[in-house]
């Protein structure tokens, strides 16, 4: 038994995520966690909401709520939707937790002790009537390039020109509308990542088994241009982790907070403390401190490609810089983007299907299966309603659902709702066992390597083997002349339903649970020995005929949904 620490990139708090976000981190992380648990390994699977920063403040202001209340509510919403998708986190934490606050301050203090934090004086726009420095997004004015009246301090959304807040004509605060803005000096802390560049480069080079998508992005940030830059880790904001040097005040940094990208990854560690403090486990340091038992932990992170620089460089710099025995990531699985029907998912324009909407249309297994079997691994992938309808109807309804339905109904009508006795294996069964064994071993290899699409293809092929066996051996025909052989075929097929449930559970947990319940067994042991696994349910063992596992998506539904999700969600 091995120990697996698994984290998914933590979703930002300001709103419900779309299916592209889901398949880029949380869903494949859940697949891996479920698989590792099914193989008997000890798993700690963590995720959280990423709650600090300007976008959270803006979203809360738009909702007319204090930002802390807004974040608490949105955390609950995201947690509920995660449950709807059966994401099996051991804990779903919050980056605004007291645990993360304390740990973030401790990391910063330690990095300062190690000489890896420097103070930098910068000029920034200050709003006199708001009494605060304004992030670029809080400043609007007229674009000097195109005359657009709502250009932001960092960029004009109309002509896309990159701007400095001081370029804007009639610049004003979006909080108060005040034009009483001035440029003032402000002091910030920088993490000296450049001093860790060689260490990080050697570490990345040692990860020959990582996906090229991961290492190529890391190397680009390490080497392009002037190479890895020192990074500001504080901001003049109210909402965030207050800047402290460990437990102590940080002179000159009063009223400032850590930048969201400094505290968010530290939440991976704090989340384990939250898990313990919530009474769900104990000894969290066993997972995170190599001096306290985490030496034998394998740590795998899942994320979209936009998050790779922070996970390959900034967060490892934070950890390495402390020279404390924190667990470093062993494998980073990154994903390309899932596009939506010829374009991109768009949160602002409501283009594409969002997680809450998906669950209103169909149970989570339909989405889980399609998304995982089309995971954007080697390149971007695309969701189309035609493809969704075709693949769900074929793989889930025609192949898996039909197998379960035919076998159980035939047995009930010709024998009984007990596993039938009689008959012995022939050449067809021996061949089936050989074929199943080959494919199940391949499935395990792909799952262990987090090759999501290949694993899905192998699972589909395993389902197909069962259907082909039924088709070729036709127990409904055999029954007329040789009921003993038909009984053997159906006994094997009923046992295959249990095996399918076990193998399929990481992808489609609800359907798997239905199949196991229908077989009236609690034995969900992995089919390491396929021949033995096919004898798990003995003759005389009672089963029941389940409701249809999957229904088909109709053409009318497909057309209606395509029109409904084409854009303009408010
Ligand atoms: Zn412009």
- Residue pair 190/118 in contact by the 8 Å Cβ criterion: yes
- Residue pair 567/351 in contact by the 8 Å Cβ criterion: yes
* H/E run at residue 296: none
* CATH dotted code for 117-191: 2.170.220.10
Q: Which fold has domain 3-113+197-231+260-335?
A: Rossmann fold (3.40.50)
CA dist 462 and 445 (Å) reads: 14
Compute the mean pLDDT over every residue in the chain, rounded to the nearest whole number.
95
- 143 annotated binding-site participant: yes
Compute the distance from residue 172 Cα to the ligand 1 centre, in Å: 16
| pLDDT at position 219 over 80 | yes
**How many CB atoms lie under 10 A from the CB of residue 54?**
18
SS3 298: strand
Compute the distance from residue 121 Cα to the ligand 1 centre, in Å: 29
CA terminus-to-terminus distance, the chain: 49
Local confidence band at 569 (pLDDT 50, 70, 90 cut-offs): very low
SS3 523: coil
And the tokens for 39? 């193989």
Q: How far is CA 210 from the centre of its chain?
A: 18
Residues in the chain: 570
Please identify every residue whose CB atom is under 5 Å from ligand 1, which is an ion: 143, 145-146, 148, 156, 158-159
- 347 annotated binding-site participant: yes
Give the model confidence (pLDDT) of 241-292 as tens digits.
999 999 999 999 999 999 999 999 999 999 999 999 999 999 999 999 999 9
**How many CB atoms lie under 10 A from the CB of residue 441?**
12
And the tokens for 410? 């035939």
**Rounded to the nearest 5 degrees, what angle is found at the Cα of 114, between the Cα atoms of 198 and 228?**
30
For residues 319-348, give the mean pLDDT: 93
Minimal CA–CA distance to 406: which of 473, 492, 476? Answer: 476
Give the model confidence (pLDDT) of 361-402 as tens digits.
999 999 999 999 999 999 999 999 999 999 999 999 999 999
Distances in Å between the Cα of 231 and the Cα atoms of 13, 102, 195, 234, 318 are 23, 21, 12, 9, 11
Distances in Å between the Cα of 561 and the Cα atoms of 14, 118, 341, 353 are 25, 53, 12, 9
Alpha helices in 415-529 (DSSP H): 427-448, 452-473, 475-481, 483-504, 509-518
CA dist 147 and 169 (Å) reads: 9
Residue spans per domain, the chain: 3-113+197-231+260-335, 117-191, 394-542
- Structure confidence at residue 568 (pLDDT): 62
pTM: 0.94
- 47 annotated binding-site participant: no
- 192 annotated binding-site participant: no
Distances in Å between the Cα of 547 and the Cα atoms of 85, 174, 404, 544, 557 are 21, 56, 10, 10, 22
- Structure confidence at residue 466 (pLDDT): 98
- 437 annotated binding-site participant: no
Give the model confidence (pLDDT) of 301-333 as tens digits.
999 999 999 999 999 999 999 999 999 999 999
Q: What CATH number matches the domain at 394-542, 1.10.730.10, 3.90.1200.10, 3.90.180.10, 1.10.4030.10?
A: 1.10.730.10
Query: Tokens 């003993």 belong to which residue?
Result: 484
Compute the distance from residue 163 Cα to the ligand 1 centre, in Å: 9
CA dist 391 and 385 (Å) reads: 10
């Amino acid at each position: 038994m091995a120990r697996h620490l698994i984290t998914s990139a933590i979703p930002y708090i300001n709103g419900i995520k779309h299916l592209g976000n889901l398949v880029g981190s949380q869903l494949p992380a859940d697949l891996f966690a479920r698989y590792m648990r099914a193989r008997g390994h000890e798993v700690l699977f963590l995720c959280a909401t990423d709650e600090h920063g300007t976008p959270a403040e803006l979203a809360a202001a738009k909702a007319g709520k204090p930002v802390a209340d807004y974040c608490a509510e949105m955390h609950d919403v995201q947690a509920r939707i995660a449950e709807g998708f059966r994401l099996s986190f051991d804990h779903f934490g919050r980056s605004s937790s007291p645990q993360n606050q304390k740990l973030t301050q401790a990391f910063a203090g330690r990095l300062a002790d190690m000489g890896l934090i420097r103070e930098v004086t910068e000029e920034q726009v200050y709003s006199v009537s708001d009494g605060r420095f304004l992030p670029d997004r809080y400043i609007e004015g007229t674009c000097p390039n195109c005359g657009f009246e709502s250009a932001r301090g960092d960029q004009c959304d109309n002509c896309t020109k990159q701007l400095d807040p001081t370029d804007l004509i009639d610049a004003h605060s979006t909080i108060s509308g005040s034009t009483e803005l001035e440029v003032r000096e402000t002091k910030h802390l920088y993490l000296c990542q450049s001093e860790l560049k060689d260490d990080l480069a050697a570490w990345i080079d040692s990860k020959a088994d990582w996906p090229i998508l991961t290492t190529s992005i890391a190397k680009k940030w390490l080497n392009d241009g002037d190479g890895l830059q020192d990074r500001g880790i504080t901001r003049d904001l109210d909402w965030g982790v207050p800047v402290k040097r460990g437990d102590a005040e940080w002179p000159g940094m009063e009223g400032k907070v850590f930048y969201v990208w400094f505290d968010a990854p530290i939440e991976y560690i704090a989340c384990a403390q939250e898990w313990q403090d919530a009474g769900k486990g104990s000894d969290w340091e066993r997972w995170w401190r190599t001096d306290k038992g985490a030496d034998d932990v394998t740590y795998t992170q899942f994320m979209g490609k936009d998050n790779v620089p922070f996970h390959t460089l900034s967060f490892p710099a934070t950890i390495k810089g402390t020279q404390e025995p924190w667990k470093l990531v062993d494998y980073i699985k990154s994903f390309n983007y899932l596009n939506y029907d010829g374009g991109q998912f768009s949160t602002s324009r409501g283009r594409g299907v969002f997680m809450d909407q998906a669950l209103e249309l169909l149970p989570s297994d339909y989405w889980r299966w399609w998304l995982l079997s089309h995971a954007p691994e080697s390149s971007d992938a695309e969701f189309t309603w035609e493809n969704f309808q075709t693949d769900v109807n074929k793989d889930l309804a025609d192949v898996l659902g039909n197998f379960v339905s035919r076998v159980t109904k035939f047995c009930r009508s010709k024998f009984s709702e007990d596993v039938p006795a009689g008959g012995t294996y022939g050449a067809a069964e021996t061949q089936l066992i050989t074929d199943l064994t080959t494919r199940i071993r391949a499935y395990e290899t792909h799952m262990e390597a987090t090759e999501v699409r290949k694993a899905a293809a192998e699972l589909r092929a395993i389902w197909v083997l069962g259907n082909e066996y039924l088709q070729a051996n036709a127990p409904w025909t055999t029954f007329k002349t040789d009921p003993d052989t038909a009984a053997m075929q159906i006994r094997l097929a009923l046992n295959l339903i249990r095996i399918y449930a076990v193998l399929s559970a990481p992808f489609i947990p609800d359907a798997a649970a239905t199949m196991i319940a229908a077989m009236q067994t609690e034995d969900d042991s992995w089919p390491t020995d396929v021949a033995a696994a096919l004898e798990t349910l003995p003759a005389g063992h009672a089963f029941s005929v389940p409701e249809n596992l999957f229904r088909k998506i109709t053409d009318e539904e497909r057309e209606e949904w395509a029109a409904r999700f084409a854009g303009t969600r408010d």
